[in-house]
Amino acid sequence: MSARVLVVGEVRDSHPTGASLEAVGAALSLAGGGEGVVGFLAGSRARSAAADFGRYGVRDVVVAEGPGWDGAPAGALAAPVAQVAVEKGSDTIVLGGTTFGRDLVGRLAARWNAAAASGVTELRASDGALTVRRPVFGGRATETRRLEGARRVVALRPHAFAAPGESGVEPRVTPLAGEGPSGPFGAAQRTAVVAVGGGTGPGLTDAAVVVSGGRGLRAPENFPLVEQLAASLGAAVGASRAVTDAGWRPTSFQVGQTGKAVSPQLYIAVGISGAIQHLVGMVSSRVIVAINSDASAPIFKVADYGIVGDLFQIVPALTAEVRRVRGM
């Protein structure tokens, strides 16, 4: 049984974000093709982003245009998204694996009277219900949940689903009435965005490869070992809470329960012991490699590959070999 799916996308630099395209991929699979998928985009650049949705197979896109939607909180979108879902006859809403998506999923569940789940890694529609799988208890177990009822809303786990291939569809674009949120949601307006300090590579939450450093590096002047390995791999740079608390790197680097959750194809933990607060943020990575001098460190319990030894010898040697193989 196929679902009728509404995908709520996010717009960045006039294009849908990577997480939004992953949501499109999940929606197309769930609906059995583009005919059963509707897109929703909000913001002053929503119409240009709608063309990208079409390129990836979404044939019908509703846009809430106007600068008033730029930076609008998730709560402001719950009502218009639920309205579009009703008008289009959708039974499922899919959101990307972002902070925004996780915020909106609960608000939509209440507004739309729907069953909900977040952090989803698998989706399957059958017998009038939606079966989902997701990690729980900090990744120590995987839960299978059946979402009963006529309506379901889910937020995905980052990188759990692939973006679809390009299909070159010219979407039908329908504008939503109104220029922005009203009432209390329209009272606060974003006037500027200032980027916080970060690595020079790809964004931490979007990267396919992440290299993170921990207290085992001993001093801030040794952290470039992590950055050099990351640069050789084209990876993002992360850090444990111990590193950011010590001021070695900004909090924007932090991976973990109180930092950022990442799900890359490859996660390399350098000098990180593996406290549960850190594991929660990276345990869903496809492949985990741990480098630590302590063979009993908890990080090795979740690692697919472990290297026990002196990181000050291992990491430079690994960086040099990666550079040699890649001709850098």
For the domain that residue 122 is a member of, what is the CATH number?
Answer: 3.40.50.620
Give the number of domains in the chain: 2
| Structure tokens belonging to residue 220 | 């801030």
Residue 200 forms part of a structural domain: no
Residue 108 forms part of a structural domain: yes
Residue 249 forms part of a structural domain: yes
**Do both 82 and 9 map to the same domain?**
yes
| Domain end marker among 154, 187, 220 | 187
The number of beta carbons lying within 10 Å of the beta carbon of residue 231 is 19
CATH number, domain containing residue 243:
3.40.50.1220
Q: Which domain holds residue 164?
A: 5-187
pLDDT tens per residue, the chain (328 residues)? 456 999 999 998 889 998 999 999 999 999 887 788 999 999 889 999 999 999 999 999 999 987 788 878 888 899 999 999 999 999 999 999 888 999 999 999 999 999 999 989 999 988 888 999 998 876 678 899 999 889 999 999 888 888 898 887 789 999 987 666 766 665 566 666 666 655 566 788 888 899 999 999 999 999 999 999 999 999 999 999 999 999 999 999 999 988 888 889 999 999 999 999 899 889 888 899 999 999 999 999 999 999 999 999 999 999 999 999 999 8
Residue 24, class by beta-carbon neighbours within 10 Å (0-12 exposed, 13-18 middle, 19+ buried)? buried
Give whole-number Cα distances, 266 to 116, 211, 285, 304, in Å.
29, 8, 6, 10
